[in-house]
Structure 1
């Protein structure tokens, strides 16, 4: 039965630089990169290519040593020109000099009627060989799902509430057949429901309202209402030992296209956003695309693959993350302000009325230009009670973070670490007056729990 969830806690960051609902041209870059670090849980990647090899889109690049039959494949065709390594020869990225015309590996095609009778084993085999399995993320821990697990349910958030977020209804126009096929494939892996969650503050697109084999739920509230972790918490909470899978809407359509067209196509419309982007709209890009073809205003800018809360600062010569459907470009914050941390201002975005009291007089429609300045440095952990105001979940984030710092396993479990990943606490980091790396702290706790 469908559910309607109304959330009050949270905080919307209304930033300047939204993507217009139009397609813009960004030339295809010369190079692309597949980064093992994009895939949480990949600690020991084993390469199956070397420099000088030629690959197609869908050709295997590496696998995780502990799960050898799940392949991570090339997003484009071309030549492997560099394998970048870090400490202890850890693979950081595999760089591909792309062909001007992308060629794809061919996988088996299925009609819509054939997908209904396709066995789970055949579907799993195609997903693992093509690279499509990487679209399925497991909760708890937010890592690539283990195909031997049976999730109690699968969640798809049909909207993103993060700053300057991608509009999935626009991005997936004309892909209704692929999206339905993706849902039908996913349904083979769970005896429970597939929850498709829509935004109660916007009109529901027919793309989502007409989908079969899903439970359509409505979520209303400020960010992080669009986070799938928040939705799981209110609809089908995770206890110790539970497994839930999540898939991004773009990933669902990508899986569907794999079975209908027989190709693994990582291209999608990516939202080009931020106050420093010269042209804002949606550009067709493959996963791992170099961002150096995006034009900007000014010279000293931060290129973020993703959004300002959870994205990765990659630089103008950096690469689009595998799971990112958005690029954000904002000014670098290298300037200093005299007493900038205490003076009231109408130009600064702040959750705390004591610091940005005048911003609340501008109304909800005021758009803010933000930079990377943190307006302070890391200091002792201050308990303000603010974290609880932006976390619409029945957990105690302040005490959870303290338990992680203390490496108290029992308290971590009792305080809800199975229910959250980095994106669910990103607002806590944004409003933290102590400037602590909250998302890093949470990931350290998750890794401790996994190893324990």
Structure 2
């Protein structure tokens, strides 16, 4: 029996360049990179030295604060570079891949009879644990804690995001294995959310509480669903997992192999033929970027979707958690009198000189231009129109800016992650970096309160 949830507040950003339902195998990457920026709050300690030979699934480093949490190689090959920054902080680890891949195979377990500790041990040693994220603080989950619930969102509303119903088709066995194991890690429920009118591969999963979601973005974000279904109070923990990561976790339980394969949606108005590619975590973006024909030179490559992704170079590497690469025009041009004329080719949640509200289904070709400079943080009331959580977004942002711990707690910082403020950042007339403000607020709250 599913529960229907309708979200009314929000804003859909319809962009040109959605991926066609066609999958092509990407050119094999020579070098695969794990960027430490993907693992927020992790202090890495290397197992291996530069020049060492590794197998796919073999541990590369561990978390200094949680020694059992291992991070493994997505491919077999030679560890060719350990890039370091200030104070010898590790920034990335690069592996030169072998032509013929070999795996570090781990023992499998009987999922049905496995205990909580069995599941934790297998995923920690196999490098699958980093796929489990924790709220509060939006960090990799601490295996020594117990969440009150686990959330999985297969209803994606982000602009040009990968179609999970297409990507996960035929992966029901792996999904069920991972979900069965997850049910052993919490005394509460495993919540799975799908679209109200979608035929999702996750709809037939056993041992979960199914929810059918409808509404505009950000109704697909797991933070919105947590807020509506089981809000987080002080002292409580909730874990989240991405559906495509579930496939890797489930396959590892069944085969003992860490298969880092990813279905990537290459999307955006600068891509001539946007489609899906099969590649692996950490692969060079260039191996599939130009295969679909990039139509312009002055472009912005985004590792992720356009709202929450990070800026990347074509020779950069695919992020650990990403299944979308967006390519849109670089907005570094100056628009003469852009603020003082009717606007027909941009999206806005206001009606001041803009007309997107008259054509809600129109698709737009937007650039990275912010259409204005950083300015005073003014109260407008617009954030509340697109922010569906029972939280005051403006007040929470300002509490984070001034580092008011009491206000952060009372206003609901425990519940949110930076991605929950991506839409308010998009519509912000003050051009404030909302996601950065929330990230810094979460780090400060964790540092002071833990």
Band of TM-score, shorter chain: over 0.9
Q: Any residues of structure 2 matched to 1:216-227 within 5 Å, and which? A: 216-227=210-221
Equivalent position to 2:175, from 179, 186, 206: 179
Q: Give 2:305's aligned residue.
A: 307
- Spell out the pairing of 1:437-452 with structure 2 (5 A cutoff): 437-452=433-448
1:41 aligns to 2:41 (yes or no): yes
What root-mean-square deviation, in Å, do the aligned CA atoms of Structure 1 and Structure 2 show?
1.2
Give the 3-state SS of the residue equivalent to 2:316 in structure 1.
coil
1:341 Cα offset (Å): 2.8
1:352–1:431: 8 Å Cα contact kept in structure 2? no
Structure 1 stretch displaced more, 177-186 or 263-272: 263-272
How many matched pairs? 444
- Structure 2 partner of 1:18: 18
Deviation at 1:125, TM superposition (A): 1.2
Residue in 1 that maps onto 2:332: 334
1:353 aligns to what SS in structure 2? coil
Once the 2 structures are TM-superposed, how far is the Cα of residue 402 of structure 1 from its aligned partner?
Answer: 0.8
- 1:426: how far off? 0.4
The 4+ residue runs of structure 1 with deviation greater than 4 A are none
Unaligned runs of 5+ in 2: none
Match of 1:3 in 2: 3
Q: TM-score, normalised by structure 2?
A: 0.96
Distance 2:282 2:339 in 1: 37
Distance 1:310 1:274 in 2: 15
Instruction: Answer yes or no: is 1:204 the counterpart of 2:202.
Output: no
Q: Is the 8 A contact 1:171 1:268 kept in 2?
A: no
* Corresponding residue number in structure 2 for 1:360: 357
Alpha-carbon distance in 2 for matches of 1:360, 1:238? 34
Secondary structure in 1 matching 2:265 = strand
Per the alignment, residue 379 of structure 1 pairs with 375
Shift of residue 208, structure 1, vs aligned partner: 1.6
The equivalent residue for 2:427 is 431
Write the distance in 2 (CA, Å) between the matches of 1:103 and 1:432: 49
Q: Matched residues in 1 for 2:360 and 2:427: separation? A: 18
* Structure 1 Cα separation of the partners of residues 307 and 210 of structure 2: 27
CA distances 1:141-196 after superposition (whole Å, capped 9, x unpaired) = 11100111111111000121100011111111111100000001111101111000
Deviations for 1:37-96, whole angstroms, at most 9, x for unmatched residues? 101221x21112222111111111111111011101111111111111122111111111
- Counterpart-to-counterpart distance in 1, 2:81 and 2:245: 27
* Per-residue deviation, 1:107: 0.9
Cα separation, 1, equivalents of 2:445 and 2:199: 38
Unaligned runs of 5+ in 1: none
